[in-house]
Chains A and B, each alone.
Chain A
Amino acid sequence: MYRYDEFDAQFVAERVAQFRDQTGRRLAGELTEDQFKLHRLMNGVYLQLHAYMLRVAIPYGSLRSKQMRMLAHVARRYDRGYGHFTTRQNIQYNWPALQDCPDILADLATVEMHAIQTSGNCIRNVTADHFAGAAADEVADPRPYAEILRQWSSLHPEYSFLPRKFKIAVTGADRDRAVIQAHDIGLQVVKDASGALGFRVWVGGGLGRTPMIGHKIRDFLPEADLLAYVDAIVRVYNLEGRRDNKYKARIKILVHEKGVEPMREAVEAEFAKGPKGLTLPADDVARIRAYFAPPAHAARPAASEIVAQRRGSDPRFAAFVDTNVAKHREAGYGIVTISLKPIGGIPGDASADQMDVVADLADRYSFGEVRVSHEQNLVLTDVALDDLPSLYDALEAAKLATPNAGLVTDIIACPGLDYCALATARSIPVAQRISERFGEGERARDIGELKIKISGCINACGHHHVGHIGILGLDRKGEETYQITLGGSGDETASLGDLTGPGFSTDDVVDAVETVVDTYLGLREGADEDFLAAYRRVGMAPFKKALYERDAGREI
């Protein structure tokens, strides 16, 4: 993984010192809230419903065990013993005191972490496939490119005050696990006919109040032109993006209003002006890539005897292997998803003790590295199959072995009205009730892959537009009301969900989700046809009928 050089370390240390000074002056009354707020936000500190909230960047979702232990330390020492992993591969603490934030940032800096660019109208934390470097279907590890983009965009003088926030995601496989088409810029690492590395480029995706799927504007961008081309896109946006209305300020609106072709032409014209010193030297790419060199895998047999034996005697272990272990590019290894979605639990929350356990298990079984997925789970990317039984037992002891990755209970939910100052309804309790309704037994496994995503307001932090079943919490005359969308998808076939119709009350929403699931089970062509495929085949009609032509579906 990437290690700070002396410049990175000095830069972060200076930022902590600056923020300590700014916070001190604010607490002493020398700065007003108006003067201070910008500095506070630029260091990841928001004011939420009950307290301040600190958002810490986890670049492309990769952590060393030492960093994970520091996240646990921060949770324990300065917060209430837990943290929330988010869809942007960051972690949020819900209860820090402002007066402690400089100390927290100083502690984080000791393990090369910070909260810079986790807020504000700048280029935010670059996200990547959480299986990067290990996935069997990968062309190349996307993280070196995410790191190059991170270095380029950190404190970029021209791009510190864009019209609005700007999010970039990178994947290295055809199977999109990073929702790249719902980002301002989405990049997919590909090879051309000669075997040279480069990128497919999407622009203008985004969720929020006006959701849009990105448009592909380049089929192949040579690796060396990565920064020059991204720079051209951001420059066109910075010049032409709307600053008169913050709800129309994202690049997706520019692309929409200008048109995809004119946007492509404007970007190409800007790009054609020359690379402005941004052509990537092959040596530098190689130097960054070296930080992400694969760990020293041992030669192992492709199948594990130990796993086969345990499977036979332990159905829950078998379920865990089937759902939570993905194919690794190396024989004899697997990629293990550690679900942060215990049945009835709070999606994405982990206690300090659990973080420590995961750090220890990463050291013992996965070369000391942990990933955070946008689905609010943790991942150990390089586990020898023979170690799966003992890893599973250790996870189980820490209540981290729920065998539900990708299933109906692996729900994404934003903090919603339980924490968030912008929320219009709660999201977490809805997720908990759905999770309890389906549980982790045979039925949930029979339903198969099904992604439910819940947001507590139209800002869509819970990705509901791209959920197979999306749930949006709204406030209708003082009552929480939940709209349901079907058929959204955040993968390489990205699509926005369709609204079923009128929303459902708190009491009815879980029944409504169950009705949708039962309808699917009744009409699928077999267990191989997952929910999304079935929806795409039959469309909305049968679901609408089931939902609204019955008494339980109270219309509002």
Chain B
Amino acid sequence: MPQIVTASRLADGVVVFLDDGGGWTERLDRAAIFAGKADSAAGLDAGRTAEVRSLVVDVYAVDVALQAGVPVPTKLREAIRARGPTILPEFTKPGSTPAQVQEDDHVSV
């Protein structure tokens, strides 16, 4: 199963994902996608380095399924963590749902 690597940003606690450039993004749709457990090990290593540098805390890998190019976590807990509280749609995080990504793309065209 594909995986992404996630953490919480130290300074403000915001949920972040490792991106393709080795940096951290708040947008789920920009998370680096690893083919499986064996591949995400490198991402976890990068995460640990960021932890040591006090950029992020609590680094771990999350199973995802690709939906319209967005890596949506398969477990409910991780899906809610990536998307925002289900009870407050206004706090849905940008880039966290396939529908939203399409909307954003539309706007940017």
Interface residues of A (CB under 8 A from B): 26-29, 32-33, 47-52, 80, 96-99, 346, 417-419, 423, 426, 428-429, 432, 475, 478, 480
Asked whether A478 lies within 8 Å of B76 as measured between CB atoms, the reply is: yes
Per-position 1/0 for B1-32, Cβ under 8 A of A: 00000001011111100000000000000000
Pair B12/A97 contact, Cβ less than 8 Å: yes
CB of B28, distance to nearest CB on chain A (Å):
13
Q: For the complex, is B77 an interface residue (Cβ under 8 Å from A)?
A: yes
Contact B84 A98 (CB under 8 A): no
**For residue A428, which residues in chain B have a CB less than 8 angstroms away from its CB?**
85, 87
Contact of A417 with B14 in the complex, beta carbons under 8 Å: no
- Closest B residue, CB atoms, query A426: B86
Q: Is the CB of B10 within 8 A of A27?
A: yes
- Assess whether B51 is in contact with A49, with CB atoms less than 8 Å apart: no
Min Cβ gap A548→B in Å is 26
Asked if B37 CB lies within 8 Å of chain A CBs, one says: no
Please, which residue of chain A has its CB at the minimum distance from the CB of B15? A50
Contact A51 B14 (CB under 8 A): yes
> CB-CB < 8 A to B80: which residues of A?
49, 417-418, 426
Residues of A within 8 A of B76 (CB): 417, 475, 478, 480
Which residues on the B side are within 8 Å of A99 (C-beta)? 11-12
Bits for B57-77, please: 1 = Cβ < 8 Å to A, else 0. 110000000000000000111
In whole angstroms, how far apart are the Cα atoms of A228 and B57 in the complex?
A: 43
Residues of chain A contacted by B91 (CB below 8 angstroms): 80
Give, as a whole number of angstroms, the nearest-CB distance from B59 to chain A.
11
Beta-carbon contact of B13 and A419 below 8 Å: no
How many whole Å from A226's CB to the nearest CB in chain B? 40
**Residue B53 interfacial (CB < 8 Å):** yes
Interface pair B54/A429, CB less than 8 Å apart: no
Known interface pairs A29-B54, A47-B58, A80-B91; A418-B85 also in contact (CB < 8 Å): yes
**Additional A-B contacts beyond A51-B12, A418-B80 (17; CB < 8 A):** A26-B10, A27-B11, A27-B54, A33-B51, A33-B57, A47-B57, A50-B13, A50-B15, A51-B8, A51-B15, A52-B12, A52-B13, A80-B91, A96-B13, A346-B87, A429-B86, A429-B87
A-B contact pairs, 28 of them (CB 8 A): A26-B10, A27-B11, A27-B54, A28-B54, A29-B53, A32-B54, A47-B57, A47-B58, A48-B13, A49-B77, A50-B15, A50-B84, A50-B85, A51-B13, A52-B12, A52-B13, A97-B11, A98-B10, A98-B12, A98-B13, A417-B80, A418-B80, A418-B86, A426-B80, A426-B87, A428-B87, A478-B75, A480-B76
CA distance A544 to B51 in the complex (A): 51
Interface centre among B57, B58, B84, B87 (most CB of A within 10 A): B87
Q: List, in ascending order, chain A residues with CB within 8 A of B51's CB.
A: 33
- Chain B residues with CB below 8 A from A478, complex form: 75-76
Task: Give the distance to chain A from B21, nearest Cβ to Cβ, in Å.
Answer: 22
Q: Quick one: given A27-B54, A33-B57, are A47 and B8 in contact (CB under 8 Å)?
A: yes
Set of chain B residues within 8 Å of A97, measured between Cβ atoms: 11-13
**CB neighbours of B75 from chain A (8 A):** 478
Nearest B residue to A80, CB-CB = B91
Which residues of the other chain, A, contact B77 by a CB distance below 8 angstroms? 49, 417, 423
Chain B residue numbers with a CB within 8 Å of A52 are 12-13
The answer for the CA separation of A65 and B8 in the assembled complex, in Å, is 35
Question: With a CB–CB cut-off of 8 A, which chain A residues contact B58?
Answer: 47
- In the bound assembly, the distance between CA atoms of A478 and B15 in angstroms comes to 22
A423 to chain B: which residues have CB within 8 Å?
Answer: 77
Chain A residues positioned under 8 Å from B84 (CB to CB): 50
Cβ-neighbour of B81 out of A29, A50, A346, A426 (below 8 A): A50
* Nearest 10 A/B pairs, CB to CB: A97-B12, A29-B54, A52-B13, A418-B85, A51-B13, A49-B81, A99-B11, A33-B57, A428-B87, A418-B87
